[in-house]
Amino acid sequence: MEHSVSEWVRQLDLLPHPEGGYYKEIIKAERQEEGQARPA
């Protein structure tokens, strides 16, 4: 089961990252929520 990068991006609905690679928008949203939950 080999998949090309373009296939993974399409199947997992990933977004291109400005610094290279890919990430999932949901993960970014979870990180923002964690940051807000932490005490300053």
pLDDT of residue 14: 72
pLDDT tens figures, 1-40: 566 777 877 777 777 777 777 666 655 555 555 555 555 5
Sign of CA dihedral 8, 10, 11, 16: positive
Domain carrying residue 32 = 5-37
How many domains, the chain?
Answer: 1
Tokens standing for 33? 């929520």
Spatial separation of the C-alpha atoms in residues 38 and 6, rounded to whole Å? 36
Spatial separation of the C-alpha atoms in residues 29 and 15, rounded to whole Å? 13
Of 21, 31, 33, give the one whose Cα is nearest residue 12: 21
Q: Is the pTM of this model over 0.85?
A: no
pLDDT of residue 11: 77
